[in-house]
Amino acid sequence: MIYKRSSALFAKAEQVIPGGVNSPVRAFKAVGGTPIFVKEAKGAYLYDEDGNTLIDYINSWGPMILGHAYEPVVNAVIEKARKGTSFGMPTEIETQIAELAVSMVPNIDKIRFVNSGTEACMSAVRLARGYTGKDKIIKFAGCYHGHSDSFLIQAGSGAVTFGSPNSPGVTAGTAKDTLLAKYNDIGNVEALIEANKGEIACIIIEPVAGNMGCIPPKNNFLQQLRALCDANDILLVFDEVMTGFRLAKGGAQELYNVKADILCFGKVIGGGLPVGAFAANNAIMNHLSPLGPVYQAGTLSGNPLAMAAGLAMLTELNNDKEIFNRLAEKTEYLHKGLSEVLVNRNITHTINRVGSMISVHFDETEVIDFETAAKGNNETFKMFFHGMLNNGVYIAPSAFETWFLSDALSYKDLDKTIAACNAVFE
């Protein structure tokens, strides 16, 4: 495929935007080459500035679960925009989407809307600290909860070592309160808790990891975390920015039958517009200002356009009783087809899948955490990425990102994707 116009647009963007992009993964640094500039999208397809059509497997990193430009969502936004785009005052639609979200998700009484997944996770941790009166948190290597300072932490030299900043601008003082654990390793979490008795406010986790490829929880890991939190007076925070309203109507809590204390949402809940949210029971949420002492605010929180898009999206998901089964079946079909090709081509690989999230790792080791995810052959992934792109399939431009399927994908699209994989390794 030819990307002459995309290349020209990227060169122009680099003059006025750092790295030419407004989010680093878009810059293609992990795979090489020039980012693709999108002109428009519809259903399962992206249409780029050079006139190419691409089958889309990132779906704006998750929210386009019903496909791009889904008519009920688009119409809801247009209708709301005609009445004003922002007021900085309460609107009825905020209550309507809050009621719907609370009815769909287990174990929550109240929800507060913010403007991004980063803001949701940042606010959830502040709330956990304010509610418990404790300062430290546990996060997991390879899990991404946005770019708030508390989350940009890398591992120390041992299981109970404090984290250290892995981005300039994050202070050592902030880093000392973030403890880094190994995903799917309950013994590692137990050691951290034992070494920091009575000091940990919360454990925050992607219940299904999506930022080191798709990695499911193994061996009742989430259930064991729940028990550890109960035994040690620690709040369990599920970052469901990716998994919420995608893996099931009630998200990962419903799928794995595990109750978290605080939930973070984003992506799907805004129907593609910038939005996030965090939610919990009354006792915890009533610690938020203006009811309680934990401060959180935002001029554009509950923005009417985002609320309209989110309400339309959640209404569709709530009314369609088969959508999550359809998505899981399509993802399983894709998994089997890709695996068959890679086996026949003698390509070392592992494929992980949960619901409509899937990733291909070019290593024979089972991928269960960041360490095993990092063992994948990145050179093979680069070839795979560009080969799929040249065959009309757009996947995440990083080996450490899950793919997201939309319901707009047809089985013909899936067959084309499998054929593209075969062509890459011919």
Q: Count of CB atoms within 10 A of residue 282's CB?
A: 10
Q: Residue 327 belongs to a domain with what CATH number?
A: 3.90.1150.10
Q: Which residues pair with 239 in a beta bridge?
A: 264
Looking at the fold, whether 306 and 358 belong to one and the same domain comes out as no
Structural domains counted in the chain: 2
Looking at the fold, whether 197 and 294 belong to one and the same domain comes out as yes
Looking at the fold, whether 27 and 100 belong to one and the same domain comes out as no
272, 295, 319: which is the final residue of a domain?
A: 319
Query: For residue 229, what are the CA distances in angstroms to 149, 161, 182, 305?
Result: 24, 20, 16, 38
Q: Which residue is listed with tokens 């986790």? A: 205
Looking at the fold, whether 307 and 393 belong to one and the same domain comes out as no
DSSP count for the chain of H helices, then E strands: 14, 16
Q: Is 371 helix (H, G, I), strand (E, B) or coil?
A: helix
Looking at the fold, whether 415 and 379 belong to one and the same domain comes out as yes
Q: At what angle do helices 304-319 and 92-104 cross, to 10 degrees?
A: 30
Q: Residue 304 belongs to a domain with what CATH number?
A: 3.40.640.10
Residue 207, domain extent = 71-319
Looking at the fold, whether 64 and 96 belong to one and the same domain comes out as no
State pTM to two decimals: 0.95
Looking at the fold, whether 367 and 296 belong to one and the same domain comes out as no
Q: Are 327 and 370 in contact (CB under 8 A)?
A: no
Looking at the fold, whether 65 and 81 belong to one and the same domain comes out as no
Q: Are 358 and 214 in contact (CB under 8 A)?
A: yes
- List the Cα angle 155/159/163 in 5-degree steps: 30
Per residue in 124-179, pLDDT (tens digit) is 999 999 999 999 999 999 999 988 888 877 643 233 334 456 778 888 778 889 99
Ordered alpha helix ranges (H), 273-377: 282-285, 304-319, 323-344, 370-373
Looking at the fold, whether 92 and 35 belong to one and the same domain comes out as no
Q: Which residue is listed with tokens 């500035």? A: 49
For every residue of 30-99, which 3-state class applies, written as one string? CCCCCCCCEEEEEECEEEECCCCEEEECCHHHCCCCCCECCHHHHHHHHHHHCCCCCCCCCCHHHHHHHH
Ordered alpha helix ranges (H), 345-392: 370-373, 378-390
288, 319, 350: which is the final residue of a domain?
A: 319
Distance, CA of 103 to CA of 58 (rounded, Å): 28
Query: For residue 297, what are the CA distances in angstroms to 114, 115, 182?
Result: 8, 10, 33
Looking at the fold, whether 382 and 239 belong to one and the same domain comes out as no
Q: Count of CB atoms within 10 A of residue 298's CB?
A: 16
Q: Count of CB atoms within 10 A of residue 412's CB?
A: 10
- One digit per residue, the tens of pLDDT, for the chain of length 426 reads 778 999 999 999 999 999 999 988 899 998 999 999 999 999 999 999 999 999 999 999 999 999 999 999 999 999 999 999 999 999 999 999 999 999 999 999 999 999 999 999 999 999 999 999 999 999 999 999 988 888 877 643 233 334 456 778 888 778 889 999 999 999 999 999 999 999 999 999 999 999 999 999 999 999 999 999 999 999 999 999 999 999 999 999 999 999 999 999 998 998 899 999 999 999 999 999 999 999 999 999 999 999 999 999 999 999 999 999 999 999 999 999 999 999 999 999 999 999 999 999 999 999 999 999 999 999 999 999 999 999 999 999 999 999 999 999 999 999 999 999 999 999
Per residue in 209-247, pLDDT (tens digit) is 999 999 999 999 999 999 999 999 999 999 999 999 999
Looking at the fold, whether 118 and 239 belong to one and the same domain comes out as yes
Looking at the fold, whether 142 and 55 belong to one and the same domain comes out as no
Q: Are 405 and 331 in contact (CB under 8 A)?
A: yes
266, 299, 319: which is the final residue of a domain?
A: 319
Which residues have a catalytic role annotated? 144, 239, 267
